[in-house]
Amino acid sequence: MKIQTIRKINPLVFLFVFLLGLCVHAEEVTVKRVIDGDTFQAKNDQDEFLVRLLYVNTPESVHRDKKQNHPMGKVASDWLVKKLEGKVVNLVNPPKADSIDYFQRRLALVYLGNELINLTIIAEGLSPYFTKYGKAIEPFHTQFKAAEKDARNALRGIWSDPVLTKKYLRLKSKWGQEKEKKSKSKKKSKP
């Protein structure tokens, strides 16, 4: 799947999200400042707050422990600055996804016009499809998986670095194991 194909699908995805109606809350905000490849500071009429791109996990670029930072994190951060800084975007928190992370950042799908930034950043190879905060509903789940697979097969971005590839595949395996352990313990505790 080519990136252009993904962008052609986006208006249909946007329409799908819009039609979910009351199940989905959309909010228009201005991107004040990009923090790193998956986080930015946003402002609406009342507040300023941090937003974390849902289903995205770019390499670190501003971590306190400098050893955690990776050059590809700076690439992702620069990409997001060019794409979003100073622009008005729409935030959507889809059903079955967490809305706030551990650091009190809002988790959201981010639309710039009809372009779903979360999907584009994965297609660009700057992030894996990150399911720690819940899997995406359809048709997003299929599109995120396909975008990651295409980026991995083309060795774009993080997938061109064997160390990052190994790290992200290992982390994804741990996320799956974590959820599997929780579901097994729930089954055992039921009478």
Q: Is 105 a catalytic residue?
A: yes
Q: CA-CA distance, 2 to 123, in Å (whole number)?
A: 8
| DSSP letter assigned to residue 3 | H
Please list, in sequence order, all residues whose beta carbon lies within 8 angstroms of the beta carbon of residue 149, skipping any fewer than 6 positions away.
none
Cα separation values, 176 from 27, 66, 127, 135, Å = 31, 28, 17, 11
Q: Is 64 a catalytic residue?
A: no
CB 128 within 8 A of CB 172: yes
Residue from 27, 52, 106, 156 carrying the catalytic annotation? 52
Residue from 64, 105, 152, 156 carrying the catalytic annotation? 105
Q: Is 148 a catalytic residue?
A: no
Residue from 7, 27, 28, 60 carrying the catalytic annotation? 60
Which of the residues are catalytic?
Answer: 52, 60, 105
